[in-house]
Structure 1
Amino acid sequence: MPVRPPTKSWSSTLRLPKSSFPPRPQLADQPKYLKRCSNDLYEWQSRERSAQIPFVLHDGPPYANGSLHIGHALNKILKDIICRVKLQQGRRVVYVPGWDCHGLPIEIKALEKQRENAKDGDASLDAIGIRRAARSLATKTVKEQMKGFREWGVMADWDKAWKTMDKTFESKQLGVFQEMVKRGLIFRRYKPVYWSPSSRTALAEAELEYKEDHFSTAAYVRFPMTKVPDAVQSLLPEGETLNAVIWTTTPWTLPANRAIAVHSELEYSVVKHGQYYLLIASTRVAALEKMLCNALGTDAETSDSFEVLSSGILGRDLVGSEYVNVLRGREQEPQPVIHADFVSAESGSGLVHLAPGHGMDDYEVCTRHGIRAVAPVDDLGRFTSAAVPDDPDAFVGKSVLDGGSAEMLDYLGDKVLFSHRYKHKYPYDWRTKLPVIIRATEQWFADVKYVKDDALRNLEDVRFIPHTGQSRLESFVTGRSEWCISRQRAWGVPIPALYNEESVAVLTDESVAHIVSVIEERGIDAWWTDPPDDPAWIVPGLEGTFKRGKDTMDVWFDSGTSWTQTDQQADVYLEGTDQHRGWFQSSLLTYTSASGKQGPPFKTLITHGFTLDQEGKKMSKSIGNTIAPGQIIDGSLLPPVKARKKGGGPVSQSLGPDALRLWVASSDYTRDVVIGQPVLQFNHSALLKYRMTLKMLLGSMHPSARTTPITKLDQIALAQLNAVMKEVESAYDNFEFYRGVNAINKWISTDLSAFYLEAMKDRLYCGDGGGVLDEIFHGLLRMLTPITPNLVEEAWDHRPAWMKAEEQTHPFHRTLDDPVISPEKLTGSETLIADLPLLLSTNAAIKVAQEEARASKKIGSSLESSVVLELPEDGTARQTFERYADELESIFVVSSVELDGSVDGAFKYSAKFDVPGGKATAWVLPPKDNKCPRCWRYIAPAEDELCKRCEEVVQ
């Protein structure tokens, strides 16, 4: 007898999803989840997998001088995702964070704070005062940054975090330096280096930024020649002087001019311009004539002020000529014309002014000719009295960068043929953002030339991601022969050198070993605090009076020796692309020089791009386009959402640290990464989708599902799950996390939500509650574990009571070898997957026809329709549909499906679709039976009566 509806609603008989899992994170619960998925997990794997071969990710130390920014988030979270992937693969992870704590930016910031706190404006500090202030600032910053990293869910051995200012680190760093001294790789030389007047120290190439729109005062200057080949002299009237014409963008370097270079294979011409006879490259005559005539206000084509007397003079015939530099005054000894390979006739005059004290190439070519370098410029970038010996007060104290070139040209008077403003690429100090100069000083260098070939050979077996990183790193190593490692600052590790009264340095294996032993005993600050004449620092047997040097090591040497913190070669180094010329290179060079091991310090080298705003501009505080990581975590960058309940206020958009982590994971980090509201909104929606999917799964999983028969629809869902897990696993293994996230998003939207869960709702709520939600839940957690660990921990905490009673293995502890899907459930899945395109195209056609019916107000729910499939005579499609005959209604979420049935009805709508053998038509018609008041399917025998399935379930 049919069951009659009770007075209450049938909803009490339905298995509607019930879960304590909240649709948004509860802020009060987040700390416990964060602790479990980071600190507790790292400790667990260190203990439980202690026998496993470790996976070592070596930390490129962030700089301890400011607040965390979005670039830090990209870097640290990428590292954490990698570690979690390796943990999932069954490895024991070793990730010990580090910090770079020495160097100028921290020193400057410490001094600024000192000035702010000083009374009566007295902020002067000696070296030890600077070191104490800098150490205090770095210590405070490390604590703040560490707190931020941990709040992002970064899993690491925080208790063992190292800092370059730690005594143990400094000791190992000095050991590397000593090994390089022993191998003869450290030397001192007076030669040009990049010098920052704003920082008052030498800089390495890695500390430079290049500004593309720098303007210099450029000029064509003539130098009177005192000796030229007879054949050339004969071209001039008796008593006339030939003038070598050079072009320079740094006229302030002219006092240091010591030679002029030509190219032996170029042709040169003698031209008469007004009263002067000029020597220039033949290919530059027309350009120079135009410039000089324009300067005089005449037309080059009609002017007779520029006359070519002779062409075809080879540069090799000019080598050996001599000229004078009038700025040298009484010292006007003749200076040589020499050959240089870098001379070109494509710009300038084809003759190059050589100032070996202010140019790297100039220094190299002049040194080969025994020409000494001079640089009459002080630490602040001001001329010294040696600039013009005959007129020592003319320029003394004047800045070479601030008007120095213009004043020098004024002083030269008629020796200047023409000057102009010149826009070009120019190096800047990356910390002070001010221009640098090239200046010869006494500095300490590491000999890169000696180890270069070994270093390049060591890169042959390294995996580079992206692959372009290899050529980039190789180009920096190849283009370097020396590394200036000394800095003229107080905050850093001292270069352990002694100097006698003549400033001759003593640096040997024995002297360094002795000094290091004293540092071990007294502490590194004693290098500055001990009396200058303290004999304890002097190597026994060294005779004479010596003092300790005050130079400190380049911070890239500090961090470049951080490989000493690990016991083995690192599996991965990961940093920004700017570190090819920085930390990657310094690590490679010091490791090759001093480790005593074959190969590089890393097996895989990964680089990420910079963060850009949504307009594609690099983020900068000065521009005001920065985004703080905390703004992504708290959702404050997104528009507020109103509460659903009437009268409710705005709902917090905060989704916790997983919001920040998902942005990182979904970004193609191998290029510059754009971040803005559209990107954040997309990821925010995706994360909410994850939560809602998990909430539905958590509320719908029942232990009874394990005993219900598995349907073809279930098998399709498992096959899709298996495919996406393999795709995600492959993407993660190749460090392509964004590809994994894309696969997860597509699977959730297309395969899971729009297909399987939509088709399963009737069975879940009204039927036997079966299905494969258990496997889907575990599979989804597996894929999300490296990306959104907080969400995974929270979902696991809210799993059903029956699951907790079974004491299942935690998702964080499971490896990829632990199957999510029983192999027998995938039997025959190849056929199902092959059939799936036909089923999906049919479903899409049915939806199109239903939308037309819905627009005409013929149906509302898809269950208010029956479907007839009109198939071609070829029986292939029919055979496929017949295999799913008893599940087609569920798959298409309609009340009935017939093959080639009647298409008569109160309404009918159709859509065509492709099938094997031709075209098919999906007809949407009125339902054939009555609506079941419990499941709402139109399959009941009479109005207000339950369908057969519902009647059995209720009974």
Structure 2
Amino acid sequence: MSKSWKSTLKLPVSSFPARPNPKFQQQYLRQCADDLYAWQSANRPADNPFVLHDGPPYANGPLHIGHAINKILKDIIVRNQIQRGHRVTYRPGWDCHGLPIEMKALGSGNGKGMSPVKIRDQAKRLASKTITEQLKGFRAFGVMADWDNKWTTMDGGYEARQLRVFQRLVRHGLIYRKHKPVYWSTSTRTALAEAELEYKDDHESTAAYIKYPIVSDWSSVPGLERLDGPLYAAIWTTTPWTLPANKAIAIHDDMIYSVLQAEGYGILVASSRVEAVRKFVPAASVLAEDIPGSSLSGLKYRNKLQGPSSAPQPIIHADFVTGDSGTGLVHVAPGHGQDDYEACSKLGIDAFAPINDEGHFTGEAFPEDPERLTSAPSILAGGSQTVLEIMGADVLGTHTIQHKYPYDWRTKQPVVIRATAQWFADVGSIKDDALEALKNVHFVPESGRNRLENFIKGRSEWCISRQRSWGVPIPALYDESGNAVMTEETIEHIISVMHERTTQAWFADDPEDPAWIPDSLQGKYRRGTDTMDVWFDSGSSWTETPEPADVYLEGSDQHRGWFQSSMLTYVAAQKADGKMGAAIKSPFKTLITHGFSLDDQGKKMSKSLGNTIAPVQVMDGTLLPPVKGKGKGPPKADALGPDALRLWVAMSDFTTDLQIGPSVLQPVHSSLIKYRTILKMLVGSLHESSRQAPLTKLDQIALMQLLDTMEQVDEAYSKYEFHRGVQLINRWIANDLSSFYLESLKDRLYCGDGGGVIEPIFVGLLRMLAPITPILVEEAWAHRPQWMVEDSSSEHPGRQPYAAPLVTAERFTVAEATLREDWKILSTIRDSVKLALEFARVEKHVGSSLQCSVVINVWENHLQVSDCLARYRDELEDIFVVSSVAVNWAVPDEPSWYVEEAFSQDDWAGTVTILPPTDHKCARCWKYTAEEEDGLCKRCDEVVAALPEAAAGGV
């Protein structure tokens, strides 16, 4: 009867589960997040800090996949920095003010009848509730942070620091009030900054050609002697609703104009636009041409919408006029366009915008019959058509165009340009300093530099006032005439009152409350009701960090948002403090941007398409086909927890948009299962005796491969190329660890002395995975054997310095350079052996590679190759996973079967021949090295003889 030698083998024994155990997940989450953050805060040196400043998420809804991308990337970074020996500071923040929260607080009634105080109370409750929910969600992702020390833009202390920043800008004259055109959202009834806009390329407008009668003497204009009837100036506009605000018509002095003779009147147009205009006046002929634009400046025309008794309006020169579109004469409404405003302000022409906050015309739009326009639809919902009806016969023609147009990025509704009195920050005087500071910033990806620089270059001023209730008040006082007063001293007084009463009191106190008015001001004053742009709120968050942060990381849309506002407020504050020149700084040393989530077809996610994915769906496995579990129940979702979500983020190149869906998640899922399988095997194969066992040359090759991989992964992580780091880990697991070392080690590990370098491989793998899959690392570490638990020198891989040695150098017996050259030779020959073995399996000569012997013949007996093979002579069978290896031996004549395969590299070559084994199968290790059938090989015989009798016996 054959004996069973199983009890004599050192087979892997591990309690590490094949799938996460939900029972312990919360414990592992706490240990790898809260406990680790507290540990590093206490144990990492304070003089080696790393600060990641949180770009605050907006507190107005549940977490989506974009939140997961952002927070997990930040978490990977801070975990890796802990491994590098830094004391990390990562305080989570939330952006709490602004319109989306206010609109939710207003409810379906749109806030009718609600006081500012009531709105603010509702908004604060909504933001607070959302923060609690989002914080819980972020922690469920395994994100470590100083959660008990979070900050929000609605904290009293934060608001005070923000007002101090504002005060510094006022001190330096960087804040001013002006009545001028700004972007105005009629859907939210407030001014907007450029950063709050998005542009649609397919916006439809009704464009119109309009003629205005010239009422001044044109006899000095050359070529008009033969004109029969009055003369009209033709303009073209894509916004007919702005015609009531028309204050001038612009031409260009250096352009050439013509006059078309229509029935009973002439039409003045640019010569380059004659044919375009004749499409709408087909019977017109060219009466005069070659009229210089300079001869038209100073002519006067009448604006019908301002009534028959209104003053004539001028034709002026403007540099922005071209002959490429329209008529070459431009309708100028200084209350509805920045270029128009600048051209008119030089001439003393006031900005005029006869519309209200909701986008309806006021009585000033058509004084002759005010109700005609005040009762009309809003300017974006039919108001243009009413204006054109009033213009009547002066409309030469209309057509529909599609063009690029700004939209409110929150409500997704079109915006308008409207002149109102607003507060502005002077960007023009600081943008050169900001651009200079950016030169010292590291960008990931580098393309972010041009993007941010272009946004800053394109701005001259920043509209910072908003006509809303939920925000930090602009600390302005107004006298009885409506004149604003805002000085460093008045702000100081207001901040002191807010310190006692909070910012809520600014809106709640009696309007006549004198406490808000400093003694230096005489007379009656009222408090302003404008609030600050939320970008000024979040842009002031650098006040939370004493020095510039090491990293800012957000989505690429924040180049125009938080990155820009942070940069501008930080530089402006330095300028206000006189800290410019050599001391100029950016609030961040490294600026990292990530892309947005797409579905697995590359489409943008949206609720209307039904392709959105919630983070929990990735964690609970419901996006993938269910798998058959233990027992007779139906297949279940394979829930791999937060690590599945984290590994997807890490495996994606975050510098581009990130795709997610079943087809994308399947390889992520497979990789995570592979990690668990490998770790289960490693944990089960950890033997304390291996620490004293000699390092074989095979062990040293495996360590070399591990250390090479760790170094490459470390470099990838240092460059924030996490996807490349994961690729390197996966390649090492597949090519070096699984298919080479563990295969080669199996005989020694199970049947021999149990040696090898499993422990350093286990620790090294966990170090590489610690920033990516920390819950898995925590779980694997918890299942290490008791002798490792009791070893005080065995520190947690997530806390160890990444570069800490895994094996003492004195245990190595072969020089590194020699190992590398040897491995080039051995791996080349091994590949040929594996290929020959595959042919042998296909021909059904063998099932297991142990059923083979190998003969290696090196052509011309190349010395370097022969020396290498001789050096590894006692380990070749393990390296090739065969029963015997002969080098430079003659292949036996007429074997029962054989397979031959050539190998070559550089200037050497040879063959490997696979042959039947020469000895019998060992009943214990299954190598064909026993002298007799069902016997043991010499090695196994010695191992069994050394075992206690109970372990050696058994049937």
TM range (shorter): over 0.9
Query: How far does residue 188 in structure 1 lie from its aligned partner after superposition?
Result: 1.1
For residue 870 of structure 1, report the CA deviation from its aligned partner: 3.9
Give the whole-Å Cα distance in 2 for the aligned partners of 1:822 and 1:262. Answer: 83
Separation (CA, whole Å) in 2 of partners of 1:919 and 1:353: 84
Counterpart code for 2:621: G
User: Could you tell me how far apart the structure 2 residues matched to 1:494 and 1:709 are?
Assistant: 73
TM-aligned CA distance change 1:723 to 1:410, over 3 Å: same
- Following the alignment from structure 2 to structure 1, what is the Cα–Cα distance between the partners of residues 457 and 147? 37
Match of 2:876 in 1: 888
Aligned to 2:78: 83
Q: Secondary structure at the match of 1:131?
A: helix
Q: Distance in 2 between matches of 1:241 and 1:881?
A: 106
Aligned to 2:887: 899
Structure 2: distance between partners of 1:656 and 1:132: 37
| Aligned twin of 2:572 | 593
In 1, the alpha carbon distance for the partners of 2:568 and 2:338 equals 21
Aligned-partner Cα distance in 2 for 1:546–1:833: 82
Letter in 2 for 1:66: G
What are the ranges of 5 or more consecutive residues in structure 1 without an aligned counterpart? 1-5, 116-121, 297-304
Q: What residue number does 2:951 align with?
A: none
1:281-680 equivalent positions in 2, closer than 5 A: 281-289=270-278, 291-292=279-280, 305-397=283-375, 398-595=377-574, 596=577, 597=579, 598-643=584-629, 645=630, 647-680=632-665
Contact map agreement 2:48 2:85 (CA 8 A) in 1? no
- Unpaired runs of at least 5, structure 2: 946-955
Distance 1:951 1:580 in 2: 71
Deviation for aligned residue 1:54: 1.6
Aligned partner of 1:802 in structure 2 is 787
Give per-residue Cα distances to partners, 1:371-393, cap 9 Å, x unaligned: 11100111001111111111211
Which residue of the partner structure matches residue 718 of structure 1?
Answer: 703
Q: Secondary structure at the match of 1:246?
A: strand
The verdict on how the C-alpha distance between 1:927 and 1:315 changes in structure 2, with shifts beyond 3 A counting, is farther
1:70 aligned onto 2:48: no
Can you list the C-alpha shifts for 1:446-484, whole angstroms capped at 9, x where unaligned? 111122222222111111111111111111111111111
Q: 1:817, CA displacement in angstroms?
A: 4.4
Equivalent position of 1:168 in the other structure: 157
Secondary structure at 2:592's aligned position in 1?
Answer: strand
- Equivalent residue number for residue 949 of structure 2: none
What does residue range 221-232 of structure 1 map to in structure 2 within 5 Å? 221-227=210-216, 230=219, 232=221
Which residue in the other structure is 1:734 paired with?
Answer: 719
- Equivalent-residue separation in structure 1 for 2:861 and 2:393 (angstroms): 97
Quote how far apart the aligned CAs of 1:543 are: 2.3
Cα distance change of structure 1 residues 274 and 123 upon mapping to structure 2, 3 Å threshold: closer
Q: 2:16 aligns with which of 16, 21, 31?
A: 21
Q: CA deviation at 1:345?
A: 2.2
- Native 8 Å contact 2:229 2:264 kept in 1: no
Partner of 1:441, secondary structure, is strand
Distance change (3 Å), C-alpha of 1:926 and 1:310: farther
Determine helix, strand or coil for the equivalent of 1:217: strand
- 1:137-286 equivalences in 2 (<5 Å): 137-227=126-216, 230=219, 232=221, 234-238=223-227, 240-286=229-275
Q: C-alpha distance in 2, partners of 1:236/1:831?
A: 100
The 5 A counterparts of 1:836-915 are: 836-873=823-860, 875=862, 876-900=864-888, 901-902=890-891, 904-915=894-905
SS at match of 2:711: helix
**Alignment partner of 1:232: what SS?**
coil
State whether residues 445 and 483 of structure 1, in contact with CA within 8 Å, keep that contact through their aligned partners in structure 2. Answer: yes
The offset of 1:498, in angstroms, is: 1.3
The answer to whether the 8 Å contact 1:259/1:337 transfers is: yes
Shift in Å at residue 858 of structure 1?
A: 1.9
**Aligned equivalents of 1:626 and 1:183: distance in 2?**
47
Which secondary structure does the structure 2 equivalent of 1:198 belong to? coil
Instruction: Single out whichever of 135-144 and 261-270 deviates more from structure 2.
Output: 261-270
**1:106 corresponds to 2:95:** no
Q: State the distance in 2 between where 1:139 and 1:631 align.
A: 26
C-alpha contact (below 8 Å) 1:210/1:427 kept by paired residues: yes
**Which AA in structure 1 matches 2:364?**
A
Quote the offset at 1:180 in angstroms. Answer: 1.3
2:940 is equivalent to residue 950 of structure 1: yes
Shift of 1:445: 0.9
Give SS of 1:214's match.
Answer: strand
- Range with greater deviation from structure 2 (360-369 or 36-45): 360-369
State the shift of 1:233 in Å. Answer: 5.2
Corresponding residue number in structure 2 for 1:693: 678
Q: Distance in 2 between matches of 1:114 and 1:26?
A: 48
| Distance in 2 separating the partners of 1:874 and 1:391 | 108
Q: Per-residue CA shift, 1:523-561, capped at 9, x if unaligned?
A: 211112211111111221322222111111111111111
CA contact (8 A) 1:226 1:322 kept: yes
Distance in structure 2 (CA, Å) of the matches to 1:474 and 1:801: 57
Over the matched positions of the two proteins, sequence identity in percent amounts to 57
Cα distance in 1 for partners of 2:17, 2:789 equals 18
**1:810 is paired with a residue of what secondary structure?**
coil
How far 1:239 sits from its partner (Å)? Answer: 5.4
Shift of 1:427: 1.1
Q: What's the Cα RMSD here? A: 1.9
Q: Distance in 1 between matches of 2:434 and 2:691?
A: 59
Contact kept in structure 2, 1:325 and 1:335, CA below 8 Å: yes
Residue type of the partner of 1:899? V
**Aligned with 1:46 (options 37, 41, 46):** 41
> How far apart are residue 874 of structure 1 and its match?
5.6
Instruction: Please state how far the C-alpha of 1:796 moved relative to its aligned partner.
Output: 1.0
Distance (whole Å) between structure 2 residues aligned to residue 187 and residue 206 of structure 1: 19
Q: Distance in 1 between matches of 2:46 and 2:187?
A: 53
Q: Number of aligned pairs?
A: 932
Query: 2:811, 2:402 → 1: CA distance?
Result: 70
CA distance in 1, matches of 2:213, 2:849: 96
- Describe the superposition over 1:659-693 as per-residue Cα deviations: whole angstroms up to 9, x where unpaired: 11111111111111111112211111111111111
Contact residue 877 and residue 915 of structure 1 kept, 8 A: no
Decide whether the 8 Å contact of 2:650 with 2:723 is kept in 1. yes
Report the secondary structure of 1:226's partner residue. Answer: coil
**For the Cα contact (< 8 Å) 2:712–2:725, is it kept in 1?**
yes
**Counterpart contact for 2:260–2:267, Cα < 8 Å:** yes
**The residue matched to 2:328 in structure 1 has which SS?**
coil
d(CA) in 2 for partners of 1:913, 1:246: 82
Q: Cα deviation per residue 1:142-192 (whole Å; 9 max; x = unaligned)?
A: 011111111111111111101111111111111111111111111111111
CA distance in 1, matches of 2:230, 2:763: 90
8 Å contact kept, 2:235–2:330: yes
Q: Is the 8 A contact 1:715 1:825 kept in 2?
A: no
Match of 1:300 in 2: none
Q: Of 765, 773, 797, which aligns to 2:758?
A: 773
Pairwise CA distance, 1:237: 2.7
Q: Distance in 2 between matches of 1:660 and 1:496?
A: 45
1:97 touches 1:158 (CA, 8 Å); kept in 2?
Answer: yes
1:819 equivalent in structure 2: 805
Secondary structure of the residue aligned to 2:374 is coil
* Displacement of 1:274: 4.7
Aligned partner letter, 2:146: D
Deviation digits for residues 267-307 of structure 1, max 9, x if unmatched? 32223345442222222233333x337xx6xxxxxxxx242
